[in-house]
Amino acid sequence: MSDKKKRPAAVKTAAGKTNSKQNTKKSKADAERYAKKLIENKQKEQLLRQKKSEEIKKKRAQQSEQQKKAELKEQKKIQKKNELIEWRERSAVRLKSFRKKFKYYTSKKFLGSFNYGRIFLFIVVPLVLIILGFVNLFKTVPFNVPSEIRSYEYKGRLEDETALCENVFKAQQEDYLNELEIRGSRKFDFYINPVIKVEDDGYTHNLCFGNPEGNDCVLIATIFDSEGEVIYRSLGLVDGTEINDAKMFESLKYGIHNVKVAVNVYDKKTNEKIGTKYAEIKLAVGVDGDEK
């Protein structure tokens, strides 16, 4: 009787051990799958965080670049305003000096001691010269060309030979020069189309900026608007060549734009700047040059 009772007990113990091992294996497999799933979720979260961080960095970089451009534009405006203030202060000093002299030369004491010939010589002639001087002052290079354009450095980079053409006939050059009022240095010559037709995409095929033969120097042309913003700048142009195809740096509104072109001249060997000239021209965007 005692043997019969013990045998079933032994069978139950073996089955319990077998089930316990299976449950242990199943729990271990579930734990591994859970751990693997946790790792995968963490990796996904990490990738999402990295992607979001990159997007934030990119957005901040764009905002920083826009802010720098805005600050640079504001600095240019302030610089131009300061230059105008300085010029006004100098003009005020000159005007004060002129008034003082004018008051003296028109006084009875002075007029009583001179005849009309001397009055004309010492008052009218200087007055006319002063007026002419003020008129010419408004046409000088420093007054019309921003300092950053006048001081632009040439580092030896020339226009691609494939984009260059030979100078147009002298008759055509003279036609361009007759339509332009070029002012500045007398050490070199240049010519450019007075009315440049620009397509909607900013390209032009009739820039006609040329460095005549005999200049023996390198020219760089800069087209800018009334606020001093650069619209186009060429590379170095050697004598005897011209460039017709070009692309504006920024998109322009449809219509006629009154702009200026400043041309700096540089020494071929030393790249040192020699002088500057400027002229007023027009950009005809999407229209003919004779439209207004």
Task: Set out the domains of the chain in order of their start, with CATH numbers.
Answer: 157-285 (2.60.40)
Read off the pLDDT of each residue in 228-253 and give the average, rounded to a whole number. 93
**Highest-scoring range by mean pLDDT, 107-121, 156-170, 195-209:** 195-209
Q: Compare 278 and 31 and report the one with higher pLDDT.
A: 278
For residue 130, report the phi and psi dihedrals to the nearest 5 degrees.
-65, -45
Q: What is the pLDDT of residues 77-89, one digit of tens each?
A: 899 889 999 999 9
Which residues fall within 8 angstroms of residue 26, CB to CB, at 6 or more apart?
A: none
From CA 148, how far away is CA 224, in angstroms rounded?
12
Q: What is the mean pLDDT of residues 193-220?
A: 92
- Greater confidence (93 vs 172) lies with 93
- Give every CB contact of residue 205 below 8 A, 6+ residues apart in sequence: 197, 244, 245
Residue 6, classified by CB atoms within 10 Å of its CB into exposed (0-12), middle (13-18) or buried (19+), is exposed
Q: Is the pLDDT of residue 97 over 80?
A: yes
**Side chain identity, residue 15:** A
- pLDDT tens profile 10-63: 444 555 666 676 777 777 777 888 888 888 888 888 888 888 888 888 888 888
**Does pLDDT of 126 surpass 90?**
no
* Distance from the Cα of residue 213 to its chain's centroid: 30
